[in-house]
Structure 1
Amino acid sequence: MPFSSLSAALIAALVGFGGTVALIVQAAQALGGTPEQVASAVTALCLGMSVAGGLLSAGLRMPVVLAWSTPGAALLAASTLQAGYGAAIGAYVAAALMMIVLGLVPALGRLAARIPAAVAAAMLAGVLLPFCLALFRSFQSDAVLAGVVLVVFVIARQRVPIYALLIVLAVVVGAVVLRDDLGPAGGILAQQGVFGVLHATTPVFDWAVVISLGVPLFLVTLVSQNLPGFVVLNAAGYRPPTRPVLLTTGVASLVLAPFGAMAVNLAAITAALCTGPDAHPDPERRWVVGIAYAGCYAVLALFSTPLVALFMGLPRDTILIITGVALLGPLTNALGAMFSVPDDREVAVMTFAATASGVVLLGIGSAFWGLATGFLVLGVRAGLARLRPGGAGRT
């Protein structure tokens, strides 16, 4: 294994973990997770990405790079249902089962591929918007840190875009330490020790939570993580079979869901670091980069508890700043996809507005209602089109 493969895998793992682990912690806390459950969630996700990614890379002989669902974590962190951590685990299980069924039934995969990109992107943009708005609201409470972080992020994005989030994270942690704002993070270390921990929580299946969180989590993971992940592999010259990838990641998500893993899925941005000639000159041997990447996440799983303790010790406003900066890129991409098809812009805006509103009806959250709004408008539009002269449904 050449050094370039090891360095590419290490950089991809650090970028993927360091850039968004704050959002994973925030999501678990928002759903009512205890410090032990938060630590377990991060450990389980890292473990799933390591084992499933290593198996896929070795079995398919291609660099299959896995990640956690950043948009899915944003969806969970934005939830206002207050249903309890057990109900959230039930939603994770439901989302994993849907992904497994999708892998088993090819027709469902073709149907999922027909979901209008504008509607899916609009729902994602509606989920991400509040976090990015919170970044700028944080100027009211900590203008200095928010301003410095934003300036550093803009400069880093122009000069070294791959490392921008890592640089921001280093600046934030350094500022918090210098200002002595780090909270009592030692409590979780005293309870759990230095190594990662797995703590099972019994799933509670609540239909409202499954519809509010499970269904949108499945869709946003499919559309915003797995489909782009397949595109990245195809662009690198590989032809990954969808069934084993969806089944392996779905089973990993299902097995680890009781431990707090919301979704294990294909990576997109970090995968680009591991699938090109810079990672390994020989495409036939490039699968070893996936093995190295899996090894990096095995180490992160082993020492996840002190990393989680660090983020749980950060002030709340600081977490909001890190999360908001980390999601500026995904929000930009989602807004671009949302408006990419002129004929779908109106339905996309309605989906976006319904999702971003945060409305809860019948105990069901706004992500579902955003999707329902988009599909309803598309259905009405298609029905009216059939009634026009020359329409498909004219009798």
Structure 2
Amino acid sequence: MLKDFSLQAMIMGLLTAFVGFVSSFAVIMQGLTAVGAQPGEVASALLALSLLMGLLGILLPIWKRMPISIAWSTPGAALLTSVGIIEGGFPAAVGAFVMTGALIVLSGLFSPLGRAIRMIPAPLANAMLAGILVNLCLAPVKAVSFNPWLGLPIVITWILVFVWKRIWAVPAALAAFVVVLVLGVDLPPDVLSELGRSIHPELIFVSPHFTWHGFVSVALPLFIVTMASQNIPGIAILKANGFEPPANRLFSLTGLCSLIAAVFGAVPVNLAAVTAAMCASEEAHPDPQRRYWSALIGGVGYILLGLLSSAIIAFVALSPPILLQAVAGLALVGAFSGSAQAAFRDAESREAAAVTFLVTASGVAFAGISGAFWGLIAGAAILSLKRVITRD
């Protein structure tokens, strides 16, 4: 195993962990806060996620000698921002997270369930995801409107770095956020000592509360989004790079870790998509048999970053919330554009995708059930009706 180690793979692994964590932890914070998590619970969730992602990220590459990258469900966290606090508060959301983890485990153990997810028309799944992301992607514009002196530096930095080197755009925007926070916001005089006290993270157990409303409004859409936008593409990316991962086993393992993470207030753990492409490509190593080291090093990096989660959250909590939302929105621009393009590519399903997008983006809940679920139902109804009429 050690003979397969290379400096190139190590650098790519560290880059993977840094980009994966920095580019989307703001989305996780926003999503969990939206469903009622307190700062300590958010820090606990980030720590649990990072430790489990790191553990899987180390063990799976060693087991299969493949660059299997693990991530948290960033689109799932974005979904939570559109749902908001549900009946029963954060414990009910945690109950929904547990149910989501159970569904992911079942999708690996029970093949028909996995096939059912794959049968959801791709345009509708992408339209639902685009509808979930669009409001968060508007946050940078709202941040500029809130305070141009604070919002513009973040947005301009993102634009300039995006044009130069896309992969560094969000980390650069986060760096600009830190500079704006230090120079433009009145920080408490004892901020450094306060951060020092927050350096030690703590896992907080949240007793789950199971409700039908939580299942339909959170668990089911979260399961669909995680499978459709993370797990299934993660498998596809590995296959596109010449690897044959055991999909069902990986789904079950990530679902099991999601169950563990859920009771500490965390969204699901899943296969990575973007970072999977980084670790599985030639940039990790010319020899495919040695690329697994990049995913392994990435797992170590996630654990190290997770140990800093409390201090990170204590620091960003000092800023106006809209600034962190702006960073989260910038992190999701690529995901939004990709899902929107995929949703409206086919003329045959374009109207159904538009209905799914609009209902989801409205954020309106009917019968207490979130718009993401109804968007998928409405789009499926339009698509089915159109196909019946066309066939007749």
Quick one: which amino acid aligns to residue 69 of structure 1? Answer: S
Query: In the alignment, which of 102, 118, 122 is matched to residue 117 of structure 1?
Result: 122
Q: 1:77-88 residue pairs with structure 2 within 5 A? A: 77-83=81-87, 84-88=89-93
The aligned residue for residue 385 of structure 2 is: 380
Q: Which moved more, 1:133-142 or 1:352-361?
A: 133-142
- Aligned: 1:268 with 2:270: no
The aligned residue for residue 3 of structure 1 is: 7
Query: In the alignment, which of 211, 219, 225 is matched to residue 224 of structure 2?
Result: 219
Tell me how far apart the structure 1 counterparts of residues 181 and 97 of structure 2 sit (CA, whole Å). 33
Whether the aligned pair in 2 keeps the contact of 1:22 and 1:311 (CA below 8 Å) is no
Tell me how far apart the structure 2 counterparts of residues 77 and 236 of structure 1 sit (CA, whole Å). 34
- After superposition, the C-alpha distances for 1:188-231 in whole angstroms (9 at most, x for unaligned) are 857x7412221110000111121111111000111111122112
State the superposition RMSD in angstroms: 1.8
- Aligned: 1:199 with 2:204: yes
Tell me how far apart the structure 1 counterparts of residues 77 and 193 of structure 2 sit (CA, whole Å). 24
Query: In the alignment, which of 24, 32, 35 is matched to residue 39 of structure 2?
Result: 35
Structure 1 residue 263, shift from structure 2 partner: 0.7
The aligned residue for residue 238 of structure 2 is: 233
- After superposition, the C-alpha distances for 1:324-361 in whole angstroms (9 at most, x for unaligned) are 21111111111101111110000000000100111111
TM-score by length of 1: 0.93
Structure 1 residue 311, shift from structure 2 partner: 2.1
SS in 1 for 2:71: strand
Structure 1 residue 180, shift from structure 2 partner: 3.2
Structure 1 residue 151, shift from structure 2 partner: 2.2
Structure 1 residue 251, shift from structure 2 partner: 0.4
Quick one: which amino acid aligns to residue 159 of structure 2? Answer: V
Structure 1 residue 134, shift from structure 2 partner: 2.6
- Aligned: 1:155 with 2:160: yes
The aligned residue for residue 333 of structure 1 is: 338
In the comparison of the two structures, how many residue pairs are matched?
Answer: 386
Tell me how far apart the structure 2 counterparts of residues 188 and 114 of structure 1 sit (CA, whole Å). 50
Structure 1 residue 81, shift from structure 2 partner: 4.0
Tell me how far apart the structure 2 counterparts of residues 241 and 335 of structure 1 sit (CA, whole Å). 29
Structure 1 residue 148, shift from structure 2 partner: 2.6
Q: 1:315-326 residue pairs with structure 2 within 5 A? A: 315-326=320-331
Tell me how far apart the structure 2 counterparts of residues 113 and 188 of structure 1 sit (CA, whole Å). 48
Whether the aligned pair in 1 keeps the contact of 2:36 and 2:85 (CA below 8 Å) is no
Structure 1 residue 302, shift from structure 2 partner: 2.0
Whether the aligned pair in 2 keeps the contact of 1:72 and 1:217 (CA below 8 Å) is yes
The aligned residue for residue 283 of structure 1 is: 288
The aligned residue for residue 14 of structure 1 is: 18
- After superposition, the C-alpha distances for 1:61-96 in whole angstroms (9 at most, x for unaligned) are 101111111110000122234431100001101111
Tell me how far apart the structure 2 counterparts of residues 165 and 357 of structure 1 sit (CA, whole Å). 27
Quick one: which amino acid aligns to residue 9 of structure 2? Answer: S
Assess, with a 3 A threshold, how the Cα gap between structure 1 residues 273 and 56 changes in structure 2: closer, same or farther: same
Q: Which moved more, 1:243-252 or 1:377-386?
A: 377-386
Tell me how far apart the structure 1 counterparts of residues 145 and 288 of structure 2 sit (CA, whole Å). 51
Quick one: which amino acid aligns to residue 281 of structure 2? Answer: G
Query: In the alignment, which of 297, 306, 312 is matched to residue 307 of structure 1?
Result: 312
Whether the aligned pair in 2 keeps the contact of 1:81 and 1:365 (CA below 8 Å) is no
Tell me how far apart the structure 2 counterparts of residues 185 and 383 of structure 1 sit (CA, whole Å). 63
The aligned residue for residue 59 of structure 1 is: 63
Assess, with a 3 A threshold, how the Cα gap between structure 1 residues 3 and 347 changes in structure 2: closer, same or farther: same
- After superposition, the C-alpha distances for 1:112-165 in whole angstroms (9 at most, x for unaligned) are 212111100111111111112232122221123333322222221121111111
SS in 2 for 1:265: strand
TM-score by length of 2: 0.94
Tell me how far apart the structure 2 counterparts of residues 245 and 95 of structure 1 sit (CA, whole Å). 15
- After superposition, the C-alpha distances for 1:263-293 in whole angstroms (9 at most, x for unaligned) are 1011111222211222123221221222111
- List runs of 5+ in structure 2 lacking aligned partners: none
Quick one: which amino acid aligns to residue 9 of structure 1? Answer: G
Structure 1 residue 176, shift from structure 2 partner: 1.3
Tell me how far apart the structure 1 counterparts of residues 211 and 192 of structure 2 sit (CA, whole Å). 35
SS in 2 for 1:78: helix
- List runs of 5+ in structure 1 lacking aligned partners: 389-395
The aligned residue for residue 53 of structure 2 is: 49
- Aligned: 1:72 with 2:76: yes
Structure 1 residue 185, shift from structure 2 partner: 6.8
SS in 2 for 1:343: coil
Give percent identity, aligned residues only. Answer: 38
The aligned residue for residue 391 of structure 1 is: none
Whether the aligned pair in 2 keeps the contact of 1:88 and 1:209 (CA below 8 Å) is yes
Tell me how far apart the structure 2 counterparts of residues 67 and 170 of structure 1 sit (CA, whole Å). 22
Assess, with a 3 A threshold, how the Cα gap between structure 1 residues 43 and 277 changes in structure 2: closer, same or farther: same
Tell me how far apart the structure 2 counterparts of residues 188 and 196 of structure 1 sit (CA, whole Å). 13
Tell me how far apart the structure 2 counterparts of residues 185 and 263 of structure 1 sit (CA, whole Å). 32
Whether the aligned pair in 1 keeps the contact of 2:11 and 2:294 (CA below 8 Å) is no
Whether the aligned pair in 2 keeps the contact of 1:182 and 1:315 (CA below 8 Å) is no
Assess, with a 3 A threshold, how the Cα gap between structure 1 residues 325 and 283 changes in structure 2: closer, same or farther: same
Tell me how far apart the structure 2 counterparts of residues 270 and 82 of structure 1 sit (CA, whole Å). 32
SS in 2 for 1:96: helix
The aligned residue for residue 367 of structure 2 is: 362
Quick one: which amino acid aligns to residue 61 of structure 2? Answer: S
The aligned residue for residue 140 of structure 1 is: 145
Tell me how far apart the structure 2 counterparts of residues 304 and 148 of structure 1 sit (CA, whole Å). 25
